[in-house]
Amino acid sequence: MQNVECARAVVALLKRKPSLLSNFIAIEPLLFAVDALKEKSAPLKNDLHNFSVFLSKKANISDEVREILKDFDEGWLIHNIF
């Protein structure tokens, strides 16, 4: 459970400081590690969805990060609709 709590804290930090997402090489493994934990926690899955929606409105987010976040959000939609 500590890993999920840590992942939620990472998502909260990235939401407060989206400029940290500008270094894709550094942030990509972190995003994938957080994504791997989302099935273990409904709150984390919801955090990722909200994070994706929040960042979709930001102009200075790279296409690579947007693509990963789109995958987060699509997974959320599939899980919560079907």
User: What does 34-68 look like in DSSP terms, one character per residue?
Assistant: HHHHGGG-HHHHHHHHHHHHHHHT-SS--HHHHHH
pLDDT digits 0-9 by tens, 23-57: 888 888 888 888 888 888 999 989 988 888 888 88
pLDDT at 78: 42
| Mean of all residue pLDDT scores within the chain | 82
Q: Domain count of the chain?
A: 1
Q: Is 35:48 a contact under the CB 8 Å cutoff?
A: yes
pLDDT exceeding 70 applies to what percent of the chain? 87
| Domain assignment of residue 37, given as a range | 2-81
